Amino acid sequence: MPKKTRKGKEAKREPKGAIRERKGKVLSALQEFGNRMYSQINSGEFPWAKMPSRSIKNIFYDQKLRQYVLGNKSVKRSSRNIRHIKPLTQLCWTGMFADELTRLSKTSTLRDVFYSAQAYEMTFTDQQESDNLITDLETVIGYSREDFNVFPEERSAIFGDLTVEYTLPGYEGRKLNLTSHPDGMMIGPALTSAEFVGCKADKVIAIEKGGLFTRFIEEKVHTKHKALLIHTAGQAPRATRGFLRRLNQELDLPVYLFTDGDPWGMHIAMVIISGSANAAHLRDLNTPDAKWFGVYATDIVDYKLPSDKLTELDIKRLYELKKDPRYEGKLWNREIETFMKIKKKAEQEAFSRYGLTYIVDEYLPAKLEMVEKD
């Protein structure tokens, strides 16, 4: 497989034990956050915290990083302000909670956070409020919530010839090959915190839909194409986006994305490539070199796929995407224009019209070859 050299260099910067090293960094960022407020109180100051503003006006697209970033504007939460003191206390508590989780290698869900706070008489008005504070903490310390062990509900899975070594307490040092279970392995806290120790695959294929993921395993795409298969289950969770990036950066594997042929599927691919505006305060969640290979609008024409008409909502979405800075580039422009022209969409499963194996035997090799040439 041809590889771009720039990618190779970056990969070498992340040595073995990347996970353990990252955990150390998260912990010291948290301690520093506590330290700041601690000394503010000691010097007779109302404690405060400063973080970059996440308002839409402060979100910019960084062409170099190929992702959204936050601008220079920052917000200060001061306990001197009656409207800030509660969120600041909640932020401080969230920090303490994250610190505990990370040190003990325990995981928690967003829902958990909401309830745990109540033990400290730190009630959150609703889930939204506690979710926002988790995002605040991410912004303050610059690490994503998965780094301090707060996970959303997991839906995403992986299958393929990758061997990992767990760092989770009770499993430390234990190794597992990810072909062990034919349904795929869930990309959860254990896998996210595992080190990569061996890989025989030379590429990654991320698939939007569960049915097709299973078909790919059955049709042995992982051996035929030496691929790691990842099920994104719709919009990929952050843990999965981070995982894809690690595969790309640490193992130098090219990443290919396969979604439904509609504006929403296209955007699933885009978020993996360029990240989301919601995560503009975070780094290391996108895979800029990942490639979307289908289903294209042009595929609907070329392969004469069974299709549905675009709804009004679909068309509205297309116009939004057209204005989105992430969608600059020949491929994206061409596909958006084609969708608008043909006013049709097709699902990944539409290939079944030509038999169950057609997609694996004909379409996939052809498309992989095509995107590699681009």
Partner 1 sequence: MVENSLDACEIHEILPDIYIRISPEAEPISDPGIYRLRIEDNGSGLPPEVIPSAFGQVLFGSKYKLRQTRGTFGLGGKMAVLYGQITTHGQTTIISSTGTSKMHEYVLMMDIQKNRPIVVKHKTHRNQTRWHGTIVEFRTEADYARAMPKILDYLKQTAIVVPYANLTFVDPRGRYYKFDRATTLMPKPPTETSPHPHGIDVEMLKRMIEATNSRTMKDFMKRHFQRVGDATAKRFLEFANIGPNKNPKKLTQDEIVKLLNATKNYESFLSPDASCLSPLGTELLKTGIKKELSPEFVAVHQRKPAAYSGFPFIVEAGVAYGGGIPQTDGILLYRFANRIPLLFDEASDISYKVTNDAMNWRHYKVIPGTPLAVFVHICSLKIPYKTVGKEFIADRPEVEHEVLNALREVARHLALFLSRKHHMERERKRLDVFSKYLPKIAVFSAKLAKKEKVPDVKKLLRSVAKFAEEDTEGEGSEEGA
DSSP label of 261: B
From the list 349, 338, 343, 292, the residue with the least C-alpha distance to 313 is 343
> With binding defined as CB under 8 A, does residue 85 bind partner 1?
yes
Length of the chain: 374
Of the candidates 79, 135, 156, 348, which one interacts with partner 1 according to CB under 8 A? 79
Of 9-17, 51-59, 86-94, 226-234, the window that binds partner 1 (rule: CB under 8 A) is: 86-94
CB of 89 to partner 1, least distance (A): 4
Q: Which part of the chain contacts partner 1 (CB under 8 A), choosing from 32-40, 224-232, 273-281, 364-372?
A: 32-40
Choose between 79 and 232: whose C-beta lies nearer to partner 1.
Answer: 79
Min dist CB 168 to partner 1, Å, is 24
Q: Which long-range contacts (CB under 8 A, 24 or more apart) does 358-366 make?
A: 359/212, 359/215, 360/215, 360/216, 360/219, 360/221, 360/224, 361/219, 363/294, 363/303, 364/221, 364/225, 365/225
The interface mask with partner 1, positions 119-138, x = CB under 8 A, is: -xxx----------------
Selected range binding partner 1 among 89-97, 104-112, 192-200, 298-306, rule: CB under 8 A: 89-97
Closest of 200, 197, 203 to residue 216, by C-alpha? 203
Torsion angle in degrees (nearest 10) through CA of 128, 29, 7, 326: 30
List 19, 26, 37, 280, residue binding partner 1 (CB under 8 A): 37
Per rule CB under 8 A, is residue 116 in the interface with partner 1? Answer: no
Residue pair 228/205 in contact by the 8 Å Cβ criterion? yes
* Measured distance CA(175)–CA(167) in Å, rounded: 10
Instruction: Verify whether residue 120 is a known catalytic residue.
Output: no
CA dist 221 and 213 (Å) reads 10
Instruction: Please pick, among 61, 115, 171, 354, the residue that the annotation labels catalytic.
Output: 115
Give one word for 157, left, alpha or beta, with left for phi > 0 and alpha for psi -120 to 50. beta
Restricting to residues 38-77, which ones interact with partner 1 according to CB under 8 A? 38, 41-42, 44, 46-47
Which stretch, 35-43, 150-158, 173-181, 189-197, contacts partner 1 (CB under 8 A)? Answer: 35-43
Task: Considering only the stretches 15-23, 90-98, 308-316, 325-333, report the one whose residues sit in contact with partner 1 under the rule CB under 8 A.
Answer: 90-98
By CB under 8 A, the count of residues binding partner 1 is 26
**Sign (positive/negative) of CA torsion 122, 125, 131, 137?**
negative
Nearer to partner 1, 22 or 103 (CB): 103
Dihedral angle sign, alpha carbons of residues 137, 139, 140, 144 = positive
Instruction: State yes or no: residue 88 binds partner 1 (CB under 8 A).
Output: yes
Contact criterion met (CB below 8 Å) for 187 and 154: yes
Which of 246, 272, 237, 275 has its CA nearest to residue 258?
Answer: 272
- Residue 139 binds partner 1, judged by CB under 8 A: no
Q: Is 340 in the site for partner 1 (CB under 8 A)?
A: no
Any idea which residue has 């430390």 for tokens?
A: 172
> Which residue, 93 or 213, has its beta carbon nearer to partner 1?
93
**Residues annotated catalytic, as ranges:** 115
Binding site for partner 1 (CB under 8 A): 30-31, 33-35, 37-38, 41-42, 44, 46-47, 79, 82, 85-86, 88-89, 92-93, 95-96, 99, 120-122
